Amino acid sequence: MIEKNKIYSKKVIEIADFIYKYPDKKISVAVSVFCKKFQKTERTIWSYVTEAQKYNKERLIREESKREKAQDDAKIKSLKSAILTRNESLETLSNIAKGNARKVSEEVIIPTDGDRIRAIQQLSKMQGWETEKIDVTTKGDAINTAVKVTIVEKKV
C-alpha cells in the first residue's frame, strides 16, 4: 500500500530520477554511481535504491491517474459539446418556425407549413406556453362555495 504523505530524502529522489531516466541500465550501475557520489557503503545505497523503486512506483501511479483523469475530462468535454443545449434547441426551432431556410451540404432546405407548425408546438411545450387544464370540480359537480355566516350579538 502506498503511503500518501511519505517523505523521501533528496538522495532517494535523486537515485529514483536516475533509475527513471535510464530504465535500460541495471540497478547495480546506479548503486556503483551513487556509492561514489554519496560516499556511502553499497549496503546503504541498496537501501536507498529500494526506497527509490517504491518512489518510482508511486510516481508511475500518479502519472497514470493524471493521464486517466485527462482522458476522462476530454471524453466528458467531447460528449458535452456533442449534446444540443436547450438554447441551441430553441434557436433551431425558432428558425424553423420562422420559415428560415438552411443549407445542409449542398442542398437548401425550406421548412414546410407542417414543419413550422410542429416547431411552434414544440417551442410552446418547451417554453411552457401551453397550460394544463385543471378540473376544479368534484366528480363533475361544482365545488360548493357557499359560506355560512353566523352573527352573534354581544350584550352589554
Residues 9-31 pLDDT 10s: 899 999 999 999 998 889 999 89
Q: What is residue 48's predicted lDDT score, i.e. its pLDDT?
A: 92
Per-residue pLDDT for 127 more than 90?
no
Question: Could you state, in order of their start, the residue ranges of all structural domains in the chain?
Answer: 10-82, 86-127
Residue 141 confidence class, pLDDT cut points 50, 70, 90: low
pLDDT > 70 fraction of the chain, expressed in percent and rounded? 84
| Among candidate residues 100, 97, 83, the one with its CA nearest the CA of residue 127 | 97
3-state secondary structure (DSSP) of residue 138: strand
Q: What is residue 2's predicted lDDT score, i.e. its pLDDT?
A: 46
Q: Provide the greatest CA pair distance for the chain.
A: 116
pLDDT digits (tens, 9 = 90+) for 47-92: 999 999 999 999 999 999 999 999 998 888 888 777 888 888 889 8
In the beta sheet, which residues pair with residue 104? 107
Contact 49, 85 (CB under 8 A): no
Q: Report the distance separating Cα 60 and Cα 84, nearest Å.
A: 38
Entry pTM = 0.45
Residue 4 DSSP class: T
C-alpha distance from residue 146 to each of 126, 138, 141, 151 (Å): 39, 15, 14, 16
Q: Report the distance separating Cα 9 and Cα 61, nearest Å.
A: 20
